[in-house]
Amino acid sequence: MVTTPKLLCSVTDAAHSLGIGKTKTYQLISDGSLETVSIGTRRLVKVASIHKLVEAFNIGAAA
């Protein structure tokens, strides 16, 4: 059985992945640092945007 990587996750899952709270996660969404999509009434975070955010912090820390 082939498993495909998740493309979207809940705001709560994104917060857990980043090790931050939901309030800070919503701030990152608001300022455009995390991308979301709405499906019905759910707001889901693009997993790729979580990776981009982490990479941006890694590049900033290395400079």
Domain assignment present for residue 44? The answer is: yes
- Looking at the 3D structure of the chain, how many domains does it have? 1
| Residue 38 half-sphere exposure toward CB, CA atoms < 13 A | 3
The Cα-based distances of 2 to 6, 28, 58 in angstroms read 13, 33, 31
Could you list the pLDDT tens digit for every one of the 63 residues in the chain?
788 889 999 999 999 999 999 999 999 999 999 999 999 999 999 999 999 999 988 876 655
Domain assignment present for residue 24? The answer is: yes
Query: For residue 21, what are the domain limits?
Result: 8-62
How big is the chain by its Cα radius of gyration, in Å?
13
Domain assignment present for residue 29? The answer is: yes
